[in-house]
Amino acid sequence: MEDLPHMAIQFDVTTGIFSLETNGSTYQMQADRHGCLLHLYYGAPINGPADYLLTFYDRGFSGNPYDAGTDRTYSLDALPQEFPVWGTGDYRSTCLTVKRPDGSCGCDLRYKSHSIRSGKYDLPGLPAVYDTAEQCTSQTLEIELEDICGGLSVTLLYGVFPELDVITRSAVVKNTGTGNIFLEAVQSACLDFVGGEYDLIQFYGRHAMERNYQRSPILHGAMVIGSRRGTSSHQYNPFVIASERGANEDHGDCYGMSFVYSGNFTCTAERDQYDQTRLTIGLSGGQFSWPLAPGECFTAPEVILSYSGRGLAALSHNYHRTLRRHVCRGKYRDIPRPVLINNWEATYFDFTGDKILEIARRASGLGVEMLVLDDGWFGKRDNDSKGLGDWQVNEEKLGGPLSNLVETINGLGMKFGIWTEPEMVSEDSDLYRAHPDWAFALPGRKPVRSRHQLVLDFSRPEVVDHIYGQLCRVLDSANIEYLKWDMNRSICDVWSAAGDGYGCGAILHRYVLGLYGFLERLNRRYPDLLIEGCSGGGGRFDAGMLYYAPQIWCSDNTDAVDRLFIQYGTSFGYPVSAVGSHVSAVPNHQTGRITPMKTRGVAAMAGSFGYELDLSKITEEETACVRRQIADFHKFWPLIHDGDYYRLSGPSRPDCQRAVAAWEFVAQDRSEVLVNLVSLECHGNPPDLYVKLKGLEQAALYQDESSGSLYPGGALMTAGLPIPRPTVEYESWQIHLRRA
């Protein structure tokens, strides 16, 4: 038995079983008698081998590998696998499709060797979970598989984080042969369940209404979600959960898969002929085809796996902790982000330097800490039909150099941030006039326009370098402490005029690598710059972007009530610290809804907090409310940022009242809790509503900070807390309780 001090990864040479242990889970696989790597088990911790779960029967139309000889009971069509491949007898959704130089498809991977080491592997050029030097308890397992006929090897990578209850996976495919091959699909992880009934929980949406919760049974047939839009997309998020049929927020087995990638992806959930369930996620879906020359390697983006035997809340906590501390980087990972004011919904393109200063002055007087100058400050960008690609300050519009404006804003005690959209170009721009071939377009065809704009070919290093140079000149010209990185259309017309022979199936992955390379350079050159990701709001809200930008504008929909639903769905896989959320004007610009100022603040405080409205147009009462909100946000920040987030209402809580949206932040030591309530319905003479709190200390008493009332922790969790009766539509409450 080989093992390391913490025993997180063990290998038993006699059985060929690998056991990966976290505090709350065991993951087992076996290099079996044929050298096939079979998946055995993922779930609650166990202390023995789980190979007894494998069953061997002669099953009609389920073929047997040649080297199984006359054994008709051994079939890859039925056995659970770790990294199933296409073409050699597994007819389910597989992880790898390889096209050989002779046009044949298929490979047959067998165990060759493995190694175990302390620390977490890196993925060059790709975002990945990292360990911190202070805490380093992670371990890495590499398993090398080889095609039975040679010419191809696959190294499976596993990172085990015992305290986080997380296992990461990736795979490196190498062409060890003599001819060019094509990878037609590479899924980064596969989870096979030999029995049980599972639901797929996924987060679908559209622009301005992202990440809606959908739970459906995984039945016979394949359920496929993903993106073909070049970004991870508003439509489907690359975070999914397979949950035991009866699992809820507090009970049951749940498995998460978070794909650490910001481009196209495919996730397949399938129940097979023998009622087994398979879940895979990675690159594929018809748009992917990666040429691999002899000696070259391809690295699959990472997947973060997590298991909770205590329902969805605990699963979310695993992802929150992992993303917040082991994916996000930079100084703003741990310190409060400045409360910001963004001018977009206040002015759109219609502003001058003086108007921006007026907004900054008013905001700074109320306690706002940073002004973000949104779209329209560069080139001839007075509307959305022009200017993208010309990242030169429009000094005429600003009334002088950017540095003057920034100095004045800094003089108010505020930081300054700026909007950009580096991946895009307008046809009406100097950049496009000089380099029309830098935008994606199919040969001989006019490209599809979206928001009047075209997409720059970020698969070409010279394009990336040019935009990088332009942005650095702006960033170097003034004290800019925040950058909003936007991306406002879906990609199509995928063709690289550079014609380097890669083929269109490789361009979009190379595009994402170009984007990551750019963001990595920015992070290194400006280590203190706070970057906020954005893609028409939350069109690229994924763990990959969080590696470069610790917060992402969650949605272009700033309506407080719609945001409750968007942020609810987002909370399953992402921490509150990742959610960009602003208080905006009413009637709301997206929905026309009118909500109280207080409610807009309560909703925005479940995120990186800010404002996006003309503060000179609000009432005195609202002004006082803004001051209080900012003070409250500072006071509650440690609880919001580092506390455990619990969903107390919502579609996954059928036991809960639907008339109220409720969520809660609980300090890690359970000494404090902030309960947030927003009334969604108003009726005459309504029945009383109670909300059951979570995560408190059963035997402790908790005291309401404002009323002084004392409540037994056990009662708050079992019987609940009475919700005040609303007196106006969409009224909200924040109740702060401390352990007495």
**Catalytic status, residue 486:** yes
Residue 234 backbone dihedrals phi, psi, to 5 degrees: -75, -25
Residue 253 backbone dihedrals phi, psi, to 5 degrees: -80, 130
374 vs 614 by CB, closer to ligand GLA: 374
Tell whether residue 419 is a contact of ligand GLA (CB under 6 A).
yes
272 vs 374 by CB, closer to ligand GLA: 374
Min. distance of Cβ 384 from ligand GLA in angstroms? 6
Q: Which helix (H) or strand (E) holds 728?
A: none
548 vs 645 by CB, closer to ligand GLA: 548
Min. distance of Cβ 393 from ligand GLA in angstroms? 17
Listed in sequence order, the residues at least 6 apart from 433 whose beta carbon sits closer than 8 Å to its beta carbon are none
Q: Which helix (H) or strand (E) holds 595?
A: none
Tell whether residue 111 is a contact of ligand GLA (CB under 6 A).
no
Tell whether residue 512 is a contact of ligand GLA (CB under 6 A).
no
Min. distance of Cβ 358 from ligand GLA in angstroms? 20
Min. distance of Cβ 556 from ligand GLA in angstroms? 5
Min. distance of Cβ 585 from ligand GLA in angstroms? 14
Q: Which stretch binds ligand GLA (CB under 6 A): 265-273, 520-528, 532-540, 628-636?
A: 532-540
Per CB under 6 A, contacts with ligand GLA among 340-369 are 344
Listed in sequence order, the residues at least 6 apart from 158 whose beta carbon sits closer than 8 Å to its beta carbon are 9, 20, 27, 140, 141, 142, 143, 167, 168, 169
Residue 596: both structure tokens together: 């109280």
Least Cα distance to 343 among 663, 505, 584, 145 occurs for 584
Q: Are 441 and 492 in contact (CB under 8 A)?
A: no
Q: Which stretch binds ligand GLA (CB under 6 A): 35-43, 141-149, 400-408, 533-541?
A: 533-541
Min. distance of Cβ 390 from ligand GLA in angstroms? 15
Q: Tell me the C-alpha distance between 213 and 591, whole Å.
A: 20
Q: Tell me the C-alpha distance between 612 and 372, whole Å.
A: 9
Residue 37's SS3 state is: strand
Min. distance of Cβ 209 from ligand GLA in angstroms? 13
Min. distance of Cβ 460 from ligand GLA in angstroms? 24
Tell whether residue 374 is a contact of ligand GLA (CB under 6 A).
yes
Q: Tell me the C-alpha distance between 269 and 352, whole Å.
A: 52
Q: Tell me the C-alpha distance between 499 and 575, whole Å.
A: 41
Listed in sequence order, the residues at least 6 apart from 524 whose beta carbon sits closer than 8 Å to its beta carbon are none
Tell whether residue 534 is a contact of ligand GLA (CB under 6 A).
yes
Per CB under 6 A, contacts with ligand GLA among 569-588 are none
Min. distance of Cβ 263 from ligand GLA in angstroms? 19
65 vs 537 by CB, closer to ligand GLA: 537
Min. distance of Cβ 207 from ligand GLA in angstroms? 9
Least Cα distance to 390 among 272, 499, 474 occurs for 474
Residue 75 backbone dihedrals phi, psi, to 5 degrees: -140, 130
Point out the catalytic residue in the list 272, 556, 559, 644.
556
Write a three-state SS string for 213-243. EEEEECCEEEEEEEECCCCCCCCECCEEEEE
Site size toward ligand GLA, by CB under 6 A: 11
Min. distance of Cβ 487 from ligand GLA in angstroms? 9
Tell whether residue 556 is a contact of ligand GLA (CB under 6 A).
yes
Tell whether residue 375 is a contact of ligand GLA (CB under 6 A).
yes
* CA angle at 228 for the pair 128 and 543, rounded to the nearest 5°: 20
Per CB under 6 A, contacts with ligand GLA among 619-658 are none
Residue 455: both structure tokens together: 């997409």
Residue 59: both structure tokens together: 């099953």
CA atoms within 13 A on the CB side of 329: 20
Point out the catalytic residue in the list 32, 108, 375, 486.
486
Tell whether residue 488 is a contact of ligand GLA (CB under 6 A).
yes
**Catalytic status, residue 437:** no
Peptide bond into 687 cis (omega under 30): no
Buried-state track 523-558, b at ≥16 Cβ within 10 A, e below 16: beebeebbbbbbbbbbbbbbbbbbbbbbbbbbbbbb
Min. distance of Cβ 429 from ligand GLA in angstroms? 15
Q: Tell me the C-alpha distance between 319 and 573, whole Å.
A: 6
270 vs 428 by CB, closer to ligand GLA: 428
Min. distance of Cβ 486 from ligand GLA in angstroms? 5
Q: Are 191 and 81 in contact (CB under 8 A)?
A: no
Out of 537, 544, 610, 650, the only residue in the binding site for ligand GLA (CB under 6 A) is 537
Q: Tell me the C-alpha distance between 55 and 257, whole Å.
A: 26
Q: Tell me the C-alpha distance between 345 and 347, whole Å.
A: 6
Least Cα distance to 283 among 256, 305, 264 occurs for 264
187 vs 488 by CB, closer to ligand GLA: 488
Residue 339 backbone dihedrals phi, psi, to 5 degrees: -70, 125
Tell whether residue 192 is a contact of ligand GLA (CB under 6 A).
no
* Separation of first and last alpha carbons in the chain: 50
86 vs 482 by CB, closer to ligand GLA: 482
Q: Residue of minimal CB distance from ligand GLA?
A: 375
Q: Are 671 and 738 in contact (CB under 8 A)?
A: yes
Residue 584's SS3 state is: strand
Least Cα distance to 514 among 430, 431, 472, 455 occurs for 455
Least Cα distance to 14 among 36, 33, 42 occurs for 33
382 vs 500 by CB, closer to ligand GLA: 382
Q: Tell me the C-alpha distance between 706 and 689, whole Å.
A: 20
Listed in sequence order, the residues at least 6 apart from 575 whose beta carbon sits closer than 8 Å to its beta carbon are 319, 320, 321, 323, 324, 645
**Active site (catalytic) residues:** 486, 556
Give contact residues for ligand GLA (rule: CB under 6 A). Answer: 344, 374-375, 419, 486, 488, 534, 536-537, 553, 556
